[in-house]
Structure 1
């Protein structure tokens, strides 16, 4: 395959309880139907509240199954709970093995690897990092094997949480905040990735669109499909708008297109949950 077209969506937060979020997803679905990429990847927070509502997970799976192309999934903190952090308040709902198993029972996977257009694509479960649950160690060993198996090919890594704000040397409060992959796993992951030909790290979680390059690696933060977070709840570090990201991979190169689907609107979190 000389070219591989991939569409990244993220933070869909689907539930039967908020029709506005479903409407934004349907606008994105129509865009995907028209553009017909080779694959759609949802980088997490697929559901509104997966830890307490399997129905949210199943509703999200139902809507994705109706898309005209294949999909792959990664869990976010709203799907299986969150990982602990060394800075700030911990999550009231920590990720557990049981919550991960529930996600896998609905979506069939929480990590994956495949190759296309001479690239190796790796999907990682970032919200079990630093938890100490058995699947965390299993994933660490699995990831090392997948990176080694690329044998020098360019690698595109997908995960829910960004690795860092600007650099691996961000101040402690930025390095360990719940917004990013937490320490100490973050430092180990950055070191591991640096030993391989990782050209792209694609994430979501922040509900802001961002695109920057550090060293040889381009970091793409996909915006939320569902909603934006108002400034009084979250500082501005990117572009606050709903949307998606389209990629075109060719051997040794790739292109990125930041897109807003026709009909997609900027729903504020305050419209869903008043502050």
Structure 2
């Protein structure tokens, strides 16, 4: 295959009770039907509240199974719970092995690797990092074996949380630490990928579209396909606050990125949404 077309969606936050978010997903589905990529990757937060509402996970899987393209998935904090950081309070919904098993029973593996168009694609579960769970050690061992077999191919990494804000040594701040892969797991992960030709890190989670390069590695933050957090008091502007998706075209000698908003996709405001869906 000389070209591999991948569409990344993220933070779909699906639930039966949230029809506006389902409507946005249908607009994304129609766009995917029109463009027919080789693969769709959802980089996490498939469901609105997976840890306490298994129905949300099952509803999300039903809608993704109807997409007119093969899919791969990664868990987000709204699917399995959040990981601890070195600063700030512990997460209100910590990730657990039980939540992870529930996710796997519906969506399958929470990490993956495949090769296409001369590239190695790796998907990681960023929510178990820094937890001390058995699954974290298993993933680290698995990743080491995968990186040892890239055979010099360029590598694209997909995960829910961005690696960092601007550089690997950005300090963790109490107000923003939950947005990125936490320390010290971040440093260990960055060090592991130094052994390969990492070209792309694609993530979601922040609900903002961003595209920047650090040390020859391009970082793409996919926006939420579902909603935006419009209040700057709740979330400062880092990138662009809009609903959307990301398209990639990979060739053996490089890749192209297109930042897309599906026709009919609406910037649903989270605060307005929750104000109308309480109880």
| Both structures adopt the same fold (TM-score exceeding 0.5) | yes
What does residue range 131-142 of structure 1 map to in structure 2 within 5 Å? 131-142=131-142
Q: Could you give the per-residue CA deviations for residues 142-200 of structure 1, whole angstroms, max 9, x where no partner exists?
A: 01111111111000000000000001121332897011000110111111112210100
Task: Kindly state the Cα deviation for residue 108 of structure 1 after the two structures are TM-superposed.
Answer: 1.1
Q: Could you give the per-residue CA deviations for residues 14-47 of structure 1, whole angstroms, max 9, x where no partner exists?
A: 0001100000000000000000000000000000
Is residue 250 from structure 1 mapped to residue 251 from structure 2 by the alignment? yes
3-state SS of 1:126 partner: coil
What does residue range 72-111 of structure 1 map to in structure 2 within 5 Å? 72-111=72-111
3-state SS of 2:268 partner: coil
After the TM superposition, which of the residue ranges 18-27 and 82-91 deviates more from structure 2?
82-91
Following the alignment from structure 1 to structure 2, what is the Cα–Cα distance between the partners of residues 237 and 176? 12
Following the alignment from structure 1 to structure 2, what is the Cα–Cα distance between the partners of residues 175 and 203? 20
3-state SS of 2:201 partner: strand
Task: Kindly state the Cα deviation for residue 206 of structure 1 after the two structures are TM-superposed.
Answer: 0.1
- When normalised by structure 1's length, the TM-score is 0.98
Following the alignment from structure 1 to structure 2, what is the Cα–Cα distance between the partners of residues 269 and 19? 13
Alignment RMSD (CA, Å): 1.3
Aligned residue in 2 for 1:240: 241
Q: Can you give the 5+ residue segments of structure 2 that lack an aligned partner in the other structure? A: none
How many residue pairs were aligned? 275
Is residue 34 from structure 1 mapped to residue 40 from structure 2 by the alignment? no
Aligned residue in 2 for 1:209: 209
Following the alignment from structure 1 to structure 2, what is the Cα–Cα distance between the partners of residues 239 and 176? 17
Is residue 225 from structure 1 mapped to residue 225 from structure 2 by the alignment? yes
- When normalised by structure 2's length, the TM-score is 0.96
3-state SS of 1:128 partner: coil
Q: Can you give the 5+ residue segments of structure 1 that lack an aligned partner in the other structure? A: none
Do the aligned residues in 2 keep the contact of 1:162 with 1:180 (CA within 8 Å)?
A: yes
3-state SS of 1:141 partner: helix
What does residue range 189-204 of structure 1 map to in structure 2 within 5 Å? 189-204=189-204
Aligned residue in 2 for 1:43: 43
